[in-house]
Every structure is written in structure tokens, then in C-alpha cells.
Structure 1
Amino acid sequence: MDERLHIIIAGEKGKILALLCNRKKLYLWSAAGGAILLFLVLASLFSFSFYTKYHNTSQLLAEINRQTRTQDSIIEDLNLKVAALETDKENLKAEFETEKELLMTNAVSELTERSELIERIVGSIGVKLPEYTKNSDKNSGGPFIAESWEETDDLLFKADKYVNAIRYLPIGRPVSGSISSRFGKRRDPLNSRTSFHEGIDFRGRLGEKIYATADGTVKKAFRNGSYGKHVLINHGNGYTTSFSHMHKILVKKGDKVKRGQVVGLVGNSGRSTGPHLHYEITLNGKPINPYKYLKVARLLKVTSKKTHFKYN
């Protein structure tokens, strides 16, 4: 069998080209051409895949770069805000220190004024306020640290001592009524004989409230002969106050009372010509005139409107 192939190619002008080709060589050329074509196809596919991956990677890198720039911008904004907050903090701290200095200066001035006021007013009735003494420095030690507000601390302790002392001074009115009989010599309202009146009588309506004039402890609360229904309060500093001719007693022996607390009601019990309160103050067992303590209360009330000081 003939293994050769004749390939005849006819031209337009009748020219004929004849090619003589071996069948085996043709197969080899066909195989080589197919291999080349396959290689080209695979190379094209690989190139397309590589391009696609490269394109996606480029997009991803671009997105990462964009996000990085955004985050850098955010971080920069945060740093600016932190810096602004630090500045505001320092400004506020400076303002606070200035305001504190002003408040402390005003406090020192007010404490000094209050202490001097209390000394003058309470001194006007001959009452000696407790002296301020610092704590003992024995059995102590440690490093020295200067205190810029030592004067203020002294004033605070001093004013506190004064206010605490006033709490136990029987100042103020036990009832709102007017005075019907003063302290000292008088004509007895029942027998018209000269006698010594150891307290002050206040007019009052039956059932009107009676108030304690200082902090203390109820020492007696009972019906006391001609004094009628009677309450005695011990203030623990040599002072006692008593309230007589009550209609009703509202405290009992041993009760702790505060200035302004209701202790009973105005009445007409005992040796009395009508509803009133007999009010006494004693110092170390001796009766003293309550009127000057009423004057102190009025002065404190007047000055408290100017200094905002509350004595009760």
C-alpha cells in the first residue's frame, strides 16, 4: 500500500501545485500542531486565571490601602480630640483651683465674722465660750508637711466649738406670747404680797405649743405642786430650764430633746390665774434672768439674715 500522499493545489489561472507528503510525517506534523494548539490554549487559560487573580489582588490591596488611609484619618482625629480634652482638663483644673481658692478665702472671712459675732453676742450676757485649744502634740511624730489652710482648720474647729456651745445655751423663746410677769421682785398676783419671781411668765392660749430652748435631757416631767404640770431639762453645761403650769406634758424623764422640739402645751395647772407659761433658767443651781437670753436670740436672728448663720 502506498504510504505517500499527493496534495494538489490548483490556482485561479489553472496553475497546479503538487505536493508529495509522507503519511507518517503528516501525522507527526498534525500531532505537533495539536500539541502546540493545546499548549497555547492552556497558556491562555493560565494567563487569564493569573490575570483574574492579579486583578482581584490589586482590588483587595487598593481596598486595604483605602481603609488604612481612613483609619489613619480616624486616628489623627482621635489624637486631636484627646489633645483638646487634655487642654480642656488643664483649663478646668486651673479654673477649679481658682474657684477653690476664692471659696476658701470667702469661707475664712465668713468664719472669722461668725466667730466674732458669736463672741460679741454671747459675751453680752456674760457667758464665756469654751476656749479653742489644739490637740496635744505629745506621743506623736512623722514628717513635716506644710499646711496652707491651717488657719482655716483652726477657724473651722473654733466655729464648730462655738456653734456646739450655743446648742446647749437656752436662748430663744419657749412660746410666742408676750411677757406678763418679769424676773425679780414683784407683787404676787394671788395675794398681792411682795415676792421674788424666779422666772418669766408668758401669756398663751390654752393648748399652745411650748418649745425647748436648747438641746438637753429631760430630768423631770411630773405634776409639781403649785407649779402644776412641770418639765425640767438639763443641758449638761450647768444650765437647766423649766416649764410650768402646762396643760399637757409631751415628754418623759430621760428623753433627749433638741432646741425647737415641742415639750408640752400651755395650760393653767397649779397655782395660776390663767393660761400662761412660767419659764425659768438656772445656772449651777441658781436662777438667772431669762430675759437677756431672749435678747441674744433676737440678735442672732437679726444678724443671721446678714451672715446666713443659724443658731439652731
Structure 2
Amino acid sequence: MRVRNVLPVLFFVLLVGLGTSFGFLLDTYFDHQKLQVRYETLEHDRLEQRLDILFQARKLSGLQLDYDRIDDFCRKLMVMTNMSGPRPDWDDFTGSGGPLINSMTLSPYDTRTLVRNMQGAVVALNRDVLDSEVLQQLILKQVRENKQLLDSTPSVWPVKGRITSGFGMRQHPFDKTYKFHRGLDIVPPGGRGTPIHAPANGVVVFAGRDGGYGLSLLIRHKNNITTRYGHLKAMAVKRGQKVRRDDVIAYVGNTGRSTGPHLHYEVLLAGKPQNPRRYILN
């Protein structure tokens, strides 16, 4: 009798316990589902932010290359026109430099701020690119006003090819000591006999053999600029002859102290060697 009276109570308590447990498990399941949806949403947002960052970084990289290219071209034009810097009335077009993204803004925990900073850098750099293009046009305008100066300033490659030795210190190919190289050594694809073209208008002031340069040429241009061409096979001009840009003046050879057919090309300003790359626009 007592057992029969206790069984319903135990059954009721067990039923209540099971119901409570089931409710708790059901509530936990729905909470987990909500967390899963929240996690997937956050993961989707994080992926979109990463894509946005990569897109902005790509735009920044492209704009930086454009800016560097235009800035380099402007500097070359200033060198060619004997300008030490922009004129005072060009101050509005000299560019101020964009707000570069520094290490303080590269926190992986604040991608939204990073994206905003990158967008700001893109806007600023884009403005500087436009300003530099305006500055370039102003310089070109001044160059056009003095066309004779431009025509007489070396600005193109005398021959195109592989640069085997640049301007500056290098190990000499013969005595293996480090010496200053006064120009560029250019090896054209055609090798010996490739035509060499005048990079600007000028007058031939020397044509003959010159020690280690072998058969060589010197052409005097305006603004106290002279160009030298060494290790020639043959010459197409003679001393005192006037030449114009793109005229064939000589042919690539291997004369003098040379390890193989190539052109040694120098640009001299008042007799002092300059980096020829600073004068090459094409």
C-alpha cells in the first residue's frame, strides 16, 4: 500500500525533472543556433572587410607606382632643363604626400579603422598624383617654350639593350679592384655592329682612339653637356660634324679595354660624369 502511494509521486517528480531538463536542453540548443548564426554573420563581415582591405591595398599600390613614375619623370625634366626645383608660382602643384599607413594603424583587431585609414590614404595619394600631373604639364610647357634646349639635351637611349654595368662603384672586369664607373655599359640584342643613335642635337668634338675607351666619340650639346661613346666598331660621323637626335653616329664594337661587344655611354656636365639614367625619358 505504501509503495503504491509513493510510485505516483516519484513518477510525477521524474516527469517534472525530465521536462525541466528537456526545456533547458531546448533553450541551450536555440541559444547555440543563435550563436552559430551570429558567428557566421561575423565571419561573413570579417571576410568582406579583408576583401575590402585587399582591394584598397591594391589601389594604393597602383597609385603609388603612378605617383613614383610621374615624380621620377618630373625630376628628369628638371635635370634636363637645368632647374634646381619648381618655380615659386608652382607651390600649389608640388604635392604634399598622402597620409601613409604606419604600424600604429595596422592593428588586426580594428579592421574598420584600418579600412578607413587606407581609404583616406587612397584619396590623398590620388590627389597628389593629379597635382604631380599638373606640375609635369607646367614643366613641359616651359620646355616647349625653349624647344632648342630640349632638342640639345640628351633624353633618349643611344642604343637599347641589357645594362651589364651601371653608374657608380663596381669591380673592374680586368684588375678586379673596385673603381668608379663613369657611365652605363649597354649590350644590345644585335651585338657588334648595332647602330648607335645621337640622343640629342650637338657637334662632334672628338672622333678617334682614346686609350681604354678604344674607338670613341665625344658630342658636345648645349648647357655644357657632353656625351661619350666608347668601344666602337666604326663611326658614322667625323669631328666638327653637326648631328641631330636619332642620327646614326656609330656602331657597337669591342675596341679598347672591353670584355665583349657593348656601348659605354657617358653623360658629362661641365666635365663631371652624371648618371645617364637621369637624362633618359624613353
* Superposition deviation, residue 159 in structure 1: 5.4
**Given residue 201 of structure 1, which amino acid in structure 2 is its aligned partner?**
D
Change (3 A) 1:286 1:120: closer
Among 172, 192, 207, the residue aligned to 2:156: 172
For structure 2, the 5+ residue unaligned runs are 1-72, 87-140
**Given residue 188 of structure 1, which amino acid in structure 2 is its aligned partner?**
H
Percent identity over the alignment is 40
Q: What pairs up with 1:23-62 in 2 under 5 angstroms?
A: none
Among 276, 281, 292, the residue aligned to 2:278: 292
Change (3 A) 1:160 1:124: closer
Report the 3-state secondary structure (helix = DSSP H, G, I; strand = E; otherwise coil) of the residue aligned with 1:274: coil
Deviations 1:155-184 (A, max 9, x none): xx9554333221111111011111110001
**Given residue 223 of structure 2, which amino acid in structure 1 is its aligned partner?**
N
For structure 1, the 5+ residue unaligned runs are 1-117, 132-156, 299-312
CA distance in 2, matches of 1:221, 1:244: 10
1:122 aligns with 2:77: yes
CA distance in 2, matches of 1:276, 1:258: 23
Report the 3-state secondary structure (helix = DSSP H, G, I; strand = E; otherwise coil) of the residue aligned with 2:150: helix
**Given residue 207 of structure 2, which amino acid in structure 1 is its aligned partner?**
A
CA distance in 2, matches of 1:226, 1:272: 8
CA distance in 1, matches of 2:153, 2:225: 7
| Paired position in structure 1 for 2:184 | 200
* Superposition deviation, residue 123 in structure 1: 1.9
TM-score by length of 2: 0.51
User: Over the residues paired in the alignment, what is the CA RMSD in angstroms?
Assistant: 3.0
**Given residue 221 of structure 1, which amino acid in structure 2 is its aligned partner?**
A
Q: How many residues align?
A: 159
Q: Which fold has the larger relative contact order, with Cα–Cα distance below 8 Å and residues 6 or more apart in sequence? A: 2
Deviations 1:22-51 (A, max 9, x none): xxxxxxxxxxxxxxxxxxxxxxxxxxxxxx
CA distance in 2, matches of 1:267, 1:161: 39
TM-score by length of 1: 0.46
1:254 aligns with 2:214: no
| Paired position in structure 2 for 1:243 | 229
**Given residue 177 of structure 2, which amino acid in structure 1 is its aligned partner?**
R
CA distance in 1, matches of 2:175, 2:273: 23
1:218 aligns with 2:204: yes
CA distance in 2, matches of 1:208, 1:271: 19
